[in-house]
Structure 1
């Protein structure tokens, strides 16, 4: 199974950083910034790289939050996704690389967006925890 990594950036005001994918397979859908882990990278290094490439943000502390795998029978490519949690203050972001848009979104509002992959359960877990 291929590996991917993403970063869930969350502010004290319960806003999360989401990007709208510009390319398939999740084109037009919203997700945490992230992407493929290159052969020479750790998932954490890939998460940092993807966050900067897609939003311009550089991040300090990252904590592994969850590892998700696509459900059987979905059209989602077979990736094991290492999701890192990054609590931080809201910072300006830009949609770069393969992101059509990048923005801070209130947790409740995030659940109303068209979401990629297993984003809905991840956001619901965040909402319950916060």
Structure 2
């Protein structure tokens, strides 16, 4: 049986001090911090979808879209009817900014996003009372900061 996976685009957004911007998803049975972005519309390219998502979720419009650095696939039943999701993750370097969702907080909460904040890699590594997606986000970012973007996208695992 073939899986029906939703295609999505996300961004690893880093400021000049290498802080990363994450969104907090809250579901009835779980909560985790993840990279901003989301599902692609029909016939939308990953790049166009990511620009749309970052505009809606963060109010971020003026940025250079960096390379496709990571890929993440998860198989889990979704309310959209999909069997899971494939995330295509791009690097975005930008000046630090205060997120201002253009779709508004009620719409973000309907999508289960309840908070947006900047983190240091050390904060992510030291945090024991929160989950992150991908699970090894701190190590992936640390590796990227030391070695630069990979020649080919890396599978992040869950």
Give TM-score scaled by structure 2 length: 0.68
Q: For the residues of structure 1 that align with 2:11 and 2:144, how far apart are their CA atoms? A: 17
Larger radius of gyration: 2
Alpha-carbon separation, structure 1, partners of 2:121 and 2:20? 6
- Secondary structure class of the residue paired with 2:31: coil
CA RMSD of aligned residues (A): 2.5
1:35/1:128 CA distance change after superposition, 3 Å = same
Give the C-alpha shift of residue 100 in structure 1. Answer: 0.7
Within the candidate set 114, 117, 120, 2:131 is matched to 114
> Where does structure 1 lack aligned partners over 5 or more consecutive residues?
none
**What is the aligned residue count?**
125
Distance 2:47 2:21 in 1: 17
Post-superposition offset of 1:50: 1.2
Give the 5 Å matches for 1:1-130.
1-22=5-26, 24=27, 28-63=31-66, 64-70=68-74, 77-94=83-100, 96=105, 97=108, 98=111, 99-111=113-125, 112=127, 113-116=130-133, 119-130=134-145
Unpaired runs of at least 5, structure 2 = 146-158
Deviation, structure 1 residue 123: 3.2
8 Å Cα contact 1:108/1:127 also seen in 2: no
Q: Which moved more, 1:50-59 or 1:31-40?
A: 50-59
Confirm or deny: 8 A CA contact 1:4 1:79 kept in the other structure: yes
> What is residue 150 of structure 2 aligned with on the other side?
none
Distance of aligned partners of 1:59 and 1:102 in 2 relative to their CA distance in 1, 3 Å threshold: same
